[in-house]
Amino acid sequence: LNRLVSQVISSLTASLRFDGALNVDVTEFQTNLVPYPRIHFMLSSYAPVISAEKAFHEQLSVAEITNSAFEPASMMAKCDPRHG
């Protein structure tokens, strides 16, 4: 569980720690999301959550990973984004 949380936090803060074209901070995320009231609050998800042994044997498509990221079970908070 600690590894999962640390990977999510590391990914969320990568743009704050490294330079690059996609370098943004949390306030920019909030500013860009304000026009869309339904996405006013940021929610992180992590997908796919599979063991290291399975990671080398399963080939997932981009569509499968994207769909998995929006599943309520993949959210890092107990929330169903489909219901607002």
Q: Report the Cα–Cα distance between both ends of the chain, in Å, rounded.
A: 26
Candidate list 28, 58, 64, 71, residue with the active-site label: 28
| Contact call for residues 45 and 70 (beta carbons, < 8 A) | yes
Residue type, 40: H
| Contact call for residues 68 and 58 (beta carbons, < 8 A) | no
CA distance 79 to 5: 17
Quick check: is 28 catalytic?
A: yes
Catalytic residues: 28
